[in-house]
Structure 1
Amino acid sequence: MHILVFFTIGKDGNHWLACVSDLKEEKNYILDSLKKYRKNDKKAVEEYNTYVEDIIVNVANQIPSTNGYKRVKAISLFPTEVKDVPQQANTFDCGVYVMKFLEGAMFNTDLWTDKKHYKDLIAYRRQIMLQLIKWEKNTSQAIFHNG
């Protein structure tokens, strides 16, 4: 069993990255659809660790210490891997990719690495829209127009 913490990082005011920390395996993963982070890029890994250190340690230490999980003192001691993930072909799909990456990581599927899942992002956007519209807490009035 993995104990995962999922979060996003906004980069440079116009790009989103997905990040996963596996607290049991003591590994961090950066999932970037624009290759702003490169594999083995020490500066990127240091920046990641600096940015998320307090967040992850605080969240992690609220989890009960069970199933072989140890308290976290510093995630910067965990190895950080920049995953080889599908890349977006434009400058505006990073948010959709982030959601797909985290969905794959959450359900332990190949969604975060298999390019076949990224062929029809328009359909995925529609799915997201419909889920938001149908959400029980959505109080806005949705108007559909077929045209």
Structure 2
Amino acid sequence: MIKESVGKEIILEEEHPDVEKGIADFVTPEKHDVDTNEFTQGDVVEIHEAGSDPLKGRGYRRKRKARLLCSSYTDPTKRRKLSDINVYDPYREVDLNKVEAFCKWMKTTSSCQIIPLRFYDVQAKSLMDLSKEDSWINDSIMNKALYHIRERASRFSNLFRQDCCILDTYFYQFVVNAYGQLQSIKELKCNKSLMNYVRGATSELGKPWKDCKYLYLPSWTHDHWFAVQVDIEEWAILMFDSLKGHIRRAVLEAYFLSLQVLIPLIIKSHVTSESKYSTENFKFVNVKDVPQQVNGFDYGIFAIKFIEFLHANMDLNTIRPDYVPVWRKKLAAELLA
């Protein structure tokens, strides 16, 4: 790359057909057929570069043609850093540099490898499957995706609620264990692991419950993911499910009972003693009007998006099921970056 004083760049183009084919899978549905040639095709100019020739010797200037493109500051096809953002945009295009890196990684990595990501290690196959349209999401990918939301919320505090906490997939089992002890000895016993959640010391970038109005957690039962919101102000637990009717009402009531009983006791005993908070069980609400998946394997992405949209204080009905394949690939590229 040769920079000129006029602020433009000379770019020597190289073709990577395999990588470009992979990148095409990451574009948004409505922008898939947009012709970008009018933006990227500039004038053909003649440039001079150092060359070597047996007859002419070393150091002479060789001439050849190259295409003159706009810099990244003026080329509308290139991803640009935005300033003064006041609303979170979940439909923003993925960074093509991350896409290219992910496509190359897919070609050179064994699916059996363990990939060390920040705070979480995941199997390469799990990350590869995430980018496919017909695969499920396991708990390692779910936890990494939720950390990704927490990390983004910490950097952009004006775009995400700061009065909430996102818990990981392990929290529910600690609640179940404490509930079993409560049933046997009739006394609340919270072990250190459970109390670390309450203090905000377990999940990376967690928050103390005393600073929260809402708790968000992913839930898994009967081979199905769904999102849960604990509304401390309204004393309620809300379920957001992208596949209504998949789990029977009786099964859901049994699943949520430990949460309904334990969380009020924990709040009253270890978070606040204010009189407006009681030890009565939380009420359970299965929210009906939420977007629904159109297949049998997208519930993991929907659970992530329910939590993300709630965290950003956005209307869940703006979630587009047709965009899920793009979100899959975008998430895979961002988690690897």
TM range (shorter): 0.5 to 0.7
The answer as to 2:212 corresponding to 1:9 is: no
The answer as to 2:335 corresponding to 1:132 is: yes
- Pick aligned residue for 1:102 from 298, 307, 315: 307
In structure 1, the residue matched to 2:324 is: 121
Deviations 1:61-87 (A, max 9, x none): 587449x895452443x2524232111
Residues of 1 paired with 2:312 and 2:281: CA distance? 23
**1:42 CA drift (Å):** 5.8
Q: What residue identity is the alignment partner of 2:253?
A: E
Structure 1 123/9 Cα, relative in aligned 2: closer, same or farther at 3 Å?
same
Structure 1 88/65 Cα, relative in aligned 2: closer, same or farther at 3 Å?
same
Structure 1 61/123 Cα, relative in aligned 2: closer, same or farther at 3 Å?
farther
In structure 1, the residue matched to 2:233 is: 24
Structure 1 37/15 Cα, relative in aligned 2: closer, same or farther at 3 Å?
closer
Task: Tell me the TM-score normalized by structure 2.
Answer: 0.32
> How large is the RMSD of aligned CA atoms in angstroms?
3.2
Structure index of larger Rg: 2
Residues of 1 paired with 2:276 and 2:246: CA distance? 29
Residues of 1 paired with 2:228 and 2:277: CA distance? 20
Residues of 2 paired with 1:69 and 1:106: CA distance? 28
Select between 100-109 and 52-61 the one with higher mean Cα deviation: 52-61
On the 8 A contact 1:49/1:75 being kept in 2, the answer is no
Show structure 2 runs of 5+ residues with no match.
Answer: 1-162, 164-211
Residues of 2 paired with 1:8 and 1:69: CA distance? 30
- Pick aligned residue for 2:254 from 38, 47, 62: 47
Task: Tell me the TM-score normalized by structure 1.
Answer: 0.67
Deviations 1:76-101 (A, max 9, x none): 3x252423211111111110000001
**Higher RCO (CA-CA < 8 Å; seq separation 6+):** 1
In structure 2, the residue matched to 1:56 is: 263
